[in-house]
Structure 1
Amino acid sequence: MKLLYLLTLFLFTSGITMAQSEEQPLKRYMGTVELGYLYGNNKQNDIDNFVAAPSVEIFNGFRLHRLLTIGATTGFDFYNNLLITPFALGIRGEVFNSRISPIYSIDAGYGSSFLSHEADMEEKKGGWMFNPALGIRVRSGHSTAYTFAAGYKTQEAETSTFWGRGMTDQKITYKRLSLQLGFMF
């Protein structure tokens, strides 16, 4: 009798755990919208200033596997008095197919300054951008989720200021900690 009871209990619990581990069907399109801040030091006149600048990022991609989504990223990043619009290729991935899962992302591309306001005697140029990040995804529905990610964004830029017959050229590499909250669909 005890053996029959244990066998029934074992089959019942294994059936429940197997039902919980079934993978949901893979949706091929993946999009995310992330809002966050870029944190770092801004050295001016030999004085270190801590800055927190807003960032908006939009990713659209094609999911090949749960661990690999390939797509394109664009958005808006604010650095001091410079607005950078990144255009990048990106990969994303989710480690587990569960309600809560670790995620990763890597974006690499070019940040353009074509939307940045320039003074009369000033010229601003963007440069190469690289942004790896790790985070957590929490599903809120069948095909939507919330994300939280922390990364390290590197963005090159150049500003040229013309005065009289002279010119001051400054090449800058912004290195910022990025913290972002997002919505995945």
Structure 2
Amino acid sequence: MKRLFLVITSVFFFAGVQAQSTMQRSAYVNYTEFGGLFGRVASGPAAAQTVENRLSFTAQTFNGIQLNSQLAVGGLVGVDWYKTALLMPIGAGLRVDLIPHPQQNVRLLAIADAGYGFAWFNKNSTGYETKGGWMLNPGLALRVGKPSSTAFVMSLSYKRQIADVQKPLAGNDIERDEHRVYNRICFRIGVAF
């Protein structure tokens, strides 16, 4: 009887250790998405401002570690192609499963990305200099597919990107700098694995 008890106890103990090590093991995750940045832009002097709708291209890849069944953390790199600036955001992000069901094929995720948009690939006109700035991108995503395989991802978020532009002086100007704040609704589709 003691031997049977020892065998059963040791089996449950090793099964528990195995299950715990499987749950704590981190797995690589990737979210690669592309889409559009939608917004309205006011330009011109205050007395005669014009307002236009704008659509810009965006692409981003998030690479990280799935810490547990609900939380993934990692780094991201992307490209945002605004009308007059090409910025490359680099930062960190979180992906949090809002409705935790380990075997569910459709998941709702909260996303939060923050970083800095660099103007490394931006081609400036003569006399202009574009500098990047801070970026913030919170939102929601829908992940459709089995948890352990490739899935389709669709995300909707708010993106705030800052950029500074130095313009050449004209006439009696002392300074012609612009501090741009791009506030956009971001819609992306892509894959996750």
**What residue number does 2:132 align with?**
126
| Cα separation, partners in 2 of 1:102 and 1:88, compared to 1, 3 Å | same
Q: Give runs of aligned pairs for residues 162-181 of structure 1, distance below 5 A.
A: 162-163=168-169, 166-181=174-189
- The alpha-carbon deviation at position 142 of structure 1 amounts to 4.1
In the alignment, which of 31, 46, 51 is matched to residue 48 of structure 1? Answer: 51
In the alignment, which of 146, 153, 163 is matched to residue 147 of structure 1? Answer: 153
CA distance in 1, matches of 2:74, 2:26: 14
Q: Which amino acid aligns with 2:112?
A: I
- Preserved CA contact (<8 Å) 1:66 1:93: no
CA distance in 2, matches of 1:148, 1:184: 10
**What residue number does 1:71 align with?**
74
How many residues align? The count is 162
Runs of 4+ displaced beyond 6 Å: 24-27
Q: Which amino acid aligns with 1:37?
A: G
- TM-score after normalising by structure 1: 0.82
Higher share in strand: 1
**What residue number does 1:60 align with?**
63
CA distance in 1, matches of 2:162, 2:148: 39
- The alpha-carbon deviation at position 44 of structure 1 amounts to 2.1
**What residue number does 1:86 align with?**
89
- The alpha-carbon deviation at position 49 of structure 1 amounts to 0.3
**What residue number does 2:113 align with?**
107
- The alpha-carbon deviation at position 67 of structure 1 amounts to 1.6
| Cα separation, partners in 2 of 1:175 and 1:136, compared to 1, 3 Å | same
In the alignment, which of 158, 164, 169 is matched to residue 158 of structure 1? Answer: 164
- 1:44-92 superposed Cα distances (whole Å, 9 cap, x missing partner): 2211101111100000001101221110011100122100100111111
- Preserved CA contact (<8 Å) 2:26 2:68: no
Percent identity (aligned) = 28
Unaligned runs of 5+ in 1: 1-23
CA distance in 2, matches of 1:133, 1:39: 14
Unaligned runs of 5+ in 2: 1-21
**What residue number does 1:30 align with?**
29
- TM-score after normalising by structure 2: 0.78
